[in-house]
Amino acid sequence: QVQLVQSGNEVKSPGASVKVSCKASGYSFTNYGVTWVRQAPGQGLEWMGWITTYNGNTNYAQKFHDRISMTADTSTGTAYMELRSLRPDDTAVYYCARVQLAAMLDHWGQGSLVTVSS
């Protein structure tokens, strides 16, 4: 069955970077894109961007454009999201999700909590 398994929770200091991984299984990794969505504590969902896994093309939300990188390792079926220059308001659960037709997100990872605190 389709599974997306994310890396563990992280605690970071302001100004640091974090890299969250998302390992896919149960389907052909390069046939689908991966989107990253985050959710601050008690808040709604925020779309961060997506990566086309077969060629590495990315589309980032302008809000994150200068400090985010999404990559995909096709040899291991793993997607990565790196966020730099972390601020306390980046504290959130970060989710990866498989992108299906018309960008619907049909399978999600379990989430990775990133806490930014001094």
Partner 1 sequence: DIQMTQSPSSLSAFVGDRVTITCRATQNIYNYVNWYQQKPGMAPKLLVYAASTLQPWAPSRFSGSGSGTDFTLTISALQAEDFATYYCHQTFHTPYTFGLGTKVEIK
Token output for 26: 């149960």
Burial class, 6, CB count within 10 angstroms (exposed 0-12 / middle 13-18 / buried 19+): buried
105 is a site residue for partner 1 (CB under 8 A): yes
Tokens of 2: 């389709």
**Contact yes or no for 77/93 (Cβ under 8 A):** no
Rounded-to-integer distance, Cα 36 and Cα 17, Å:
16
* Stretch in the footprint of partner 1 (CB under 8 A) among 7-15, 16-24, 78-86, 104-112: 104-112
Rounded least distance, CB 37 to partner 1, Å:
8
- CB of 39 vs partner 1, minimal distance in Å: 9
The 29-48 contact track toward partner 1, x by CB under 8 A, reads ------x-x------xxxx-
H helix or E strand, kind and range, residue 58 = strand 58-60
Q: Per rule CB under 8 A, is residue 3 in the interface with partner 1?
A: no
Q: Which residues would be at the binding site for partner 1 (CB under 8 A)?
A: 35, 37, 44-47, 49, 59, 61-63, 95, 97, 100-106, 108-111
